[in-house]
Structure 1
Amino acid sequence: MIQAIGLTSSPRKELPPALDDVSFEARAGHVTALLGAPGAGKTTALRLMLELERGRGVTYFRGRPLHRIPHPSREVGVQLGDVPGHPARTVRGQLRMLCAAAGVPVRRADEVIEAMGLDGLREERLGALSRGMDRRLGLACALLPDPHTLVLDQPTAGLAVREARWLHGILRTHADQGGAVLFTTDDPKEAAGTADRVVTVNQGRLVADQKAADFARTRLRPRVAVRSPHAPRLSAALTKEARAARRSVEVVSEDGNRLSVYGSTCADIGETAFRNGILVHQLADETGDMGAPEGSSATEPAPETPDTADSGATDSLSPLLPSIGVRPAPSPLRPLRYELRRATGVGTGYITAAVVLVTSVLLSVLLARIGHTPQARLLAAWPREFPLPPAAVGAGLLGAIAFGDEFRHPALAADRGTVPRRLGLLAAKLLVAAATGLLLACLTVACDVPALYLVYGRELAGVPADWLPLGASWLGFVIGCSWAGVLAAGLFRSTTAGLAAVLTVPVVVVPLVQRLFEGPSVRAAVGFSVRLRELLLMQWPFGGERFLAAGARLIAQPVGGALMLSLTALLCAFLLTTSRGRVR
C-alpha cells in the first residue's frame, strides 16, 4: 500500500510549486491511476514519492518511507520515462546487471525476458529498441526483483493499442496477485478502463479521488461518433428533432466531417439520417471525456450518464508472470558483482585501455628519440610538459565513468536517488577502479618496455636500480587518479567534472603543495621506517621496511601529497552530501 501525504514540490522562483499539498492512497490489490493533463504535476508527484526531487511531504510504502527500506528495489519497481540504461548495453546484460544490484539469482533475467516477450531481443542494444520493446524492457526492469509495488510514469505513451492492452493486462495481473500498482496517464478513458481508483490532479492540486466507476459516471459519457459529407445538415436535423421531442441531445462538431452526439443512440441517429436523405459514412458508439470543445451546439445540458467505458481493455493478451521465489543473495559481494557487470557490459573501458596503451607506446618511443627524458618517465610515457601520463588520464576517466555514466543512464532509480549513495556501492566502485588503474599501470609499462627494446635495444629497456619506490609511486599515483575520478564524479554527478578533478591535481594542487614542502623551515622525514621499527620493537617481515619506506616517499612527494589531500577532501565532501541526503 502507498500512502502519499502532503506532497509539495520546492518553489520555483516567482512561479507556484508544481505540486501543492497532494495526498492520496494506492491500495494493495488495486490499480490506481494518477490522472492529469500534461504539466499537471503527475511526474513531479512520482519523483517526490521516490525521493528523487526535493520538496515536502512523506510517502509510506507499506508503512515505511523509501529511505528506511533496506532494499528499495525489492519493494518498489519503478519505470520513469524511457528505459534507464546505457544505449550500448544489451537487453540481457542490462537485466543481469540489475540482478546483481538487487541480489536476485541471475536466472531471473532470462525468466523475465521470456515473460515479457523479449526472447528474440536478448542481445539487442538498448539504443536500437523500438518504443514498444523499450516499454516492455522498462516493465521487465521494474518487475525483476519481484517488488510488491509498481510505480510507472506514462507507461503506454506512444504505444499501439495492442501493446497498451498487453501492458494493462500485466498491471492487472500484478494487482490480482496482491501487489499495488500506481501509474500516471493523461487519458481519462485509459484511467477509467484500466484502474480501480482514479486520482485526478490539475495545476498541482488534487481535484478528485474516486473509484473508477464513480469517475466514469461523473467524468465520462457515452457518445456516438458520426461521419457524413453533410455533417452540418445532419447536426441541424438532430437538434431540431431533439427539441421537438424534448430530449437532451448534445451535438458537437469536430474536425472535418465528424460529429460527436451525446444523449442519443446509433439507431436514432441512423433513422434521422434516413428520413432526411443524408449519407452517413460512420456510425459507432464511443466513450468520451466530459468536456466538450468549442463550437458545440446543444439543446439542453445533458444529464450524467451511467458508465459504459470499455472494460475489456485487459484481455487474454496479458500473460501470467512466472511465480518465482526471489531469495536475497546473502553475500557482501553483491555491489561488487553489480559494478563488475556495469564496467564490463559496454566497450568504453576496453576502448579507453586500447587508446591509452597505443598512446603510451608512441610517446615512449618518441621521447626516447628526442632524448633528455629520465628512464622512469620514459617507461611511464610521461613527458615533462604533460601534467599527467596517458595511463593516469585513462584511469581517471574510467573512474569518472563509474559514477558519471550512471547519472546519465540511471539504472537504480528506486535505490536512493538516480544513483544509490550507499557506502557498499562506493567501496565496490573504488575497488574496481583501483584494480582497473593497477592493471592499466602495469600494462603500460609492460608495453613500453618491449617497444623500447625493439627500437633502441637493452640500454633503455633495463630495470632501474630503485625500481621498488618508483614502482610504488607509479602504481599509487595511477590508482589515486582513478579514485579521484570516482569521488569527483559521484560528488558533482558528472563524468566531465570527475575528469576535470583528476586534471586539477597536477595543475593546481601540486604547485600549492610544492610551496609547502619548499623552504628552510621544512624538515625531512628521513629514516621513518627505522624509527618506527625501534618504536614497535619488532622486525618487519619479508623486507617490509622497503615497502614502508616506498610508501612514505610516495606520500612525501609533492604529487603524492597533493593526491592524498585531494582524495581526502573529495571523500569527506562525498560522505557529507550522502549524510545530508539521508536526513529527512
Structure 2
Amino acid sequence: MLQAIGLTSTPRRDQPAAVDDLTFEARPGSVTALLGAPGAGKTMTLRLMLGLEHGRGVAYFRGRPLHRIPHPVREVGVLLGDVPGHPGRTARGQLRMLCAAAGVPASRADDLLDVVGLGALRDERLGNLSLGMDRRLGIATALLGDPHTLVLDAPSAGLSPRETSWLHGLLHAHAVQGGTVLYTTDDPKEAARAADRVVTIDAGRLVADQDAASFSGTRLRPRVAIRTPHAARLADALSKEARAGRRSVEVVADGGSRLTVYGSSCPEIGETAFRHGVLVHQLADEIGDSGPVPAARQSDEDDVPPVEGESVLVRLPVPAARRTSALPPALEARPLRGPLRPVRYELRRMFGVKTAPLISAAVLLVSLAVALPLARTGTTPLSGLLAAWPALLPLPPAAMGAGLIGALSYGDEYRHPALAGARGTVPRRLGLLFAKLMVTGVVAVLLALLAAVADGGALRLVYGAGAVPLPHDWPALCAGWSGLALGCAWAGLLGAGVFRITAAGVTAVVAVPVLVVPLVRKVLAGPSAHPLGGLVDRLRQLSWLGRPHGTDSWLLSLLRLATRPEATALALSLAALFCAFLFTGLRRKARW
C-alpha cells in the first residue's frame, strides 16, 4: 500500500504552497488516478512522495519510507516527465545502462523492450523516437526492477487512443498481480474509464477520494451524442416533445451535425427521430464532465481535435471489459549490490555513445599534427615532442582531451539526467563519484600513453630512429604524462560535478596552467627564511627508504616531477574541487 500523509510543499517566495496537507492512499491490486486540472499540484505531490522536493509530510511504501527501503528499485518504478537520456544513445543502450545502475541482469532490457512494443526499435536512437515511443520507453524504465509500486506522472500525455488503451491494460495487468499503481491525469473521463479509484485534488488540497463508480455518478453527467445532417430539425422536435411531456431535457448544439442531449435516452431519441423522419448517423450513450474541462485535450471518439465549441466525449466505462497487457517476467533474485554497480553503469554511459571515442581519435590526430612540425624545428625537447606540447599551448592535446572526457562525465549526467527521475536506481553519490574517477582516470592514462606512443612511432617513421632516441628516464616521463592527463581528467570531472555543467569542467582544466601554476610559481619564488631548494636531494639521502639497486634515477625523476609547480598546482586544484564537491553534496543532502 502507498500512503501519503500530510504532504506539504515548501512555498516559493510569496506564492502559496503547491501541495497543502494532502493525505490519501493507493491500495495494492488497484489502479489509483490522481486527478486535477493543470497546476493543481499533481506532479509536486509525486515529487514530494519520492523525496525529490523540499516539504513536510511522509510517504510510506508498504509501511516504509523510500529512504529506508534496502532495494528501492524493487519497490517503486517512476516515470516523471519525458524520458531523459542522451539523444545519441540507443533504446537498448539506455535500458542496459540503467540495468547496470539498478543491479539487474542486462538481458532484462530486451525483455522490457519486447513488452512495451519497442523490440523492433531497440537500436533506434533516443533522438529519433516519437512521443509515443518515448512514453513506452519510460514505462519500460519504470518496470526495470520489477517494482511493486508504479508512480507515473501523466503517462498517457500525447498518446493516441490506441496507445492509451495499451497503457491502461498494462497498468491493470500490474495491479492484477498485486501491485500498486498511482498515476496522474487531468482528464476526468480517462480517470473514470481506467482507474479503480480516483483521488481529486485542487490547488494542492484533497477534494474527493472515491471509487470509480461513485466518481462517475457524481462528477460525470450521462448524455446522448447524436450525429445527423438535420440537427436543427431534430433539436426542435426533441424540445417540443420534452415540453409537451413536461420532462427535463436539455439539447445542446455542438456545431455542425452534432447534438448533445441531457435527460433522455437513445431509445426515446431514436423514436422521436423516426416519427419526424430525421436521418440519424450516430446515436450513442456517453458521459460528460460536469466540472472544469482542461483546455487542451483530444477526442477519443475519432482521434481528431474537436472543432471550436465542441465538447470532448468518451464512452461509458465498462470495468468488466478491461483488457490487460503482458508484463515482463518477474525477477527471481534481488538486485546486486556492491561497488561494481556504478562502475558498470559508468562504463556503459561513457561508451554507449560515440563522444569519448571521437574525442580520443581527435586527440591522436591533433597530437600527430603538432608533433611532426615541432620535430622539424628542432627547438623542442624530447619530452615535449612525445607529448606534442609546444610552449605556446597551456596543455598538451592528450591532457586537454582527457579533461574534456572528464568534464563530459558529469556534464552529460546533468544535461541528460538518466538517473534523475528514478531515485531508487541511483547509486550512492560517493559511489558514483568514485566510479567516474576510476573510469575517467583509466581512460585518461591510456589516452596519454597512446598519444605518446603514436607520436614516437610517427616521428621515427618520418625522421628516422635517430631523431627520437629512447629516453633513459622513460618510466618517469610516462608517469609524468599519465599524472598530467589523470589530473586534468579529474579536474574536469570535479569541476563539472560542482557546477553541473560541462563548460565549468573545461574551465577548471584550463585554469590550472593559466591561473594556478603562475600563482604557485610566484609563491615558491618569493622570499622565504627556509627555502624549498634541495628538497629532492635531501629526500634522496634518506636511508630508510630501502630502495632496490638501480632505482635511484627513477626515484629522483619522480620526485622532481612531484615537486614541480605544475604538479603542485594540479594537486591543489584537485583538493579544492574535491572539497567543493563534498560540500555541495552534503549541503543538498542536508536539505532533505
In the superposition, the TM-score normalised over structure 2's length comes to 0.89
- The 1-side partners of 2:547 and 2:428 are apart by 39
Q: Deviations over 1:267-303 (max 9, x none)?
A: 212222333443433222222211388xxxxxxxxxx
- The 2-side partners of 1:378 and 1:218 are apart by 82
Residues 397 and 538 from structure 1, CA distance in 2 versus in 1: closer, same or farther, beyond 3 angstroms?
A: closer
2:246 is aligned with 1:246: yes
SS at match of 1:254: strand
Q: Deviations over 1:462-503 (max 9, x none)?
A: 233443433322211110111112212222222222222222
- The 1-side partners of 2:578 and 2:274 are apart by 81
Who is 2:69 aligned against? 69
Identity of aligned residues (%): 61
Residues 237 and 509 from structure 1, CA distance in 2 versus in 1: closer, same or farther, beyond 3 angstroms?
A: farther
The alignment of Structure 1 onto Structure 2 pairs a total of residues equal to: 569
- The 2-side partners of 1:428 and 1:199 are apart by 42
Who is 2:105 aligned against? 105
Return 107-116 or 425-434, whichever deviates more. 107-116
Q: Deviations over 1:497-519 (max 9, x none)?
A: 22222222222222222221112
Q: How far off is 1:360 after superposition?
A: 0.8
Q: How far off is 1:395 after superposition?
A: 0.8
Residues 460 and 547 from structure 1, CA distance in 2 versus in 1: closer, same or farther, beyond 3 angstroms?
A: same
Alignment of 1:342-491 (within 5 A): 342-414=349-421, 416=423, 422-491=429-498
In 2, are the aligned partners of 1:51 and 1:417 still within 8 Å (CA)? no
In 2, are the aligned partners of 1:411 and 1:418 still within 8 Å (CA)? no
Residues 20 and 83 from structure 1, CA distance in 2 versus in 1: closer, same or farther, beyond 3 angstroms?
A: same
Who is 1:300 aligned against? none
- The 2-side partners of 1:463 and 1:56 are apart by 67
Residues 576 and 91 from structure 1, CA distance in 2 versus in 1: closer, same or farther, beyond 3 angstroms?
A: same
- The 2-side partners of 1:44 and 1:292 are apart by 21
Q: How far off is 1:408 after superposition?
A: 2.0
Give the letter aligned to residue 47 of structure 1.
R
Alignment of 1:151-300 (within 5 A): 151-291=151-291
- The 1-side partners of 2:551 and 2:23 are apart by 64
- The 2-side partners of 1:292 and 1:20 are apart by 21
- The 2-side partners of 1:249 and 1:542 are apart by 107
Return 185-194 or 127-136, whichever deviates more. 127-136
Who is 2:508 aligned against? 501
Who is 1:140 aligned against? 140
Return 525-534 or 195-204, whichever deviates more. 525-534
Return 43-52 or 455-464, whichever deviates more. 455-464
In 2, are the aligned partners of 1:145 and 1:326 still within 8 Å (CA)? no
2:322 corresponds, among 314, 322, 341, to: 314
Q: How far off is 1:440 after superposition?
A: 0.6
Residues 38 and 371 from structure 1, CA distance in 2 versus in 1: closer, same or farther, beyond 3 angstroms?
A: farther
Alignment of 1:543-558 (within 5 A): 549-558=556-565
In 1, are the aligned partners of 2:78 and 2:142 still within 8 Å (CA)? yes
Q: How far off is 1:109 after superposition?
A: 2.1
Who is 2:87 aligned against? 87
In 2, are the aligned partners of 1:252 and 1:292 still within 8 Å (CA)? no
Give the letter aligned to residue 282 of structure 2.
Q
Q: Deviations over 1:397-420 (max 9, x none)?
A: 111221221222222235549965
- The 1-side partners of 2:556 and 2:29 are apart by 65
In 2, are the aligned partners of 1:452 and 1:460 still within 8 Å (CA)? yes
In 1, are the aligned partners of 2:102 and 2:426 still within 8 Å (CA)? no
Alignment of 1:7-26 (within 5 A): 7-26=7-26
- The 1-side partners of 2:475 and 2:242 are apart by 100
- The 1-side partners of 2:6 and 2:36 are apart by 18
In 2, are the aligned partners of 1:31 and 1:197 still within 8 Å (CA)? yes
2:96 is aligned with 1:96: yes
Give the letter aligned to residue 417 of structure 2.
P
5+ unaligned residues in a row in structure 1: which ranges?
294-306
Give the letter aligned to residue 180 of structure 1.
T
In 2, are the aligned partners of 1:71 and 1:102 still within 8 Å (CA)? no
Q: How far off is 1:528 after superposition?
A: 5.0
SS at match of 2:465: coil
- The 2-side partners of 1:533 and 1:236 are apart by 112
- The 2-side partners of 1:543 and 1:27 are apart by 74
Q: How far off is 1:362 after superposition?
A: 0.4
2:531 corresponds, among 523, 526, 530, to: 523
SS at match of 2:336: coil
2:346 corresponds, among 335, 339, 360, to: 339
Q: Deviations over 1:50-107 (max 9, x none)?
A: 2333344332223333333344323211112232222222222222222211111222
Who is 2:296 aligned against? none
Who is 2:566 aligned against? 559
Give the letter aligned to residue 163 of structure 2.
E
Q: How far off is 1:181 after superposition?
A: 1.0
In 2, are the aligned partners of 1:48 and 1:55 still within 8 Å (CA)? yes
SS at match of 2:443: helix
Residues 529 and 167 from structure 1, CA distance in 2 versus in 1: closer, same or farther, beyond 3 angstroms?
A: farther
- Please tell me the root mean square deviation across aligned C-alpha atoms, in Å: 2.6
- The 1-side partners of 2:564 and 2:271 are apart by 97
In 2, are the aligned partners of 1:52 and 1:418 still within 8 Å (CA)? no
Give the letter aligned to residue 476 of structure 1.
G
Who is 1:297 aligned against? none
Q: Deviations over 1:361-420 (max 9, x none)?
A: 101122233443332222111222222221111111111221221222222235549965
Residues 14 and 122 from structure 1, CA distance in 2 versus in 1: closer, same or farther, beyond 3 angstroms?
A: same
Give the letter aligned to residue 467 of structure 1.
W
2:517 corresponds, among 510, 516, 524, to: 510
Residues 171 and 292 from structure 1, CA distance in 2 versus in 1: closer, same or farther, beyond 3 angstroms?
A: closer
Q: How far off is 1:125 after superposition?
A: 1.9
In 2, are the aligned partners of 1:100 and 1:338 still within 8 Å (CA)? yes
Who is 2:298 aligned against? none
Residues 410 and 282 from structure 1, CA distance in 2 versus in 1: closer, same or farther, beyond 3 angstroms?
A: same
Q: How far off is 1:435 after superposition?
A: 0.4
Q: How far off is 1:17 after superposition?
A: 3.6
Q: Deviations over 1:549-578 (max 9, x none)?
A: 555433422221121111111111211222
Residues 545 and 35 from structure 1, CA distance in 2 versus in 1: closer, same or farther, beyond 3 angstroms?
A: farther
In 1, are the aligned partners of 2:520 and 2:565 still within 8 Å (CA)? yes
In 1, are the aligned partners of 2:201 and 2:208 still within 8 Å (CA)? yes
Who is 1:128 aligned against? 128
Return 350-359 or 258-267, whichever deviates more. 258-267
Give the letter aligned to residue 589 of structure 2.
R
Q: How far off is 1:20 after superposition?
A: 3.0
- The 2-side partners of 1:421 and 1:515 are apart by 40
Q: Deviations over 1:115-147 (max 9, x none)?
A: 333322222222222333322222111111111
- The 1-side partners of 2:73 and 2:518 are apart by 46
- The 2-side partners of 1:410 and 1:69 are apart by 23
Give the letter aligned to residue 486 of structure 1.
L
- The 2-side partners of 1:33 and 1:194 are apart by 8
Residues 219 and 249 from structure 1, CA distance in 2 versus in 1: closer, same or farther, beyond 3 angstroms?
A: same
Q: Deviations over 1:405-451 (max 9, x none)?
A: 12222222355499655211211110000000001101111111122
In the superposition, the TM-score normalised over structure 1's length comes to 0.90
5+ unaligned residues in a row in structure 2: which ranges?
294-314
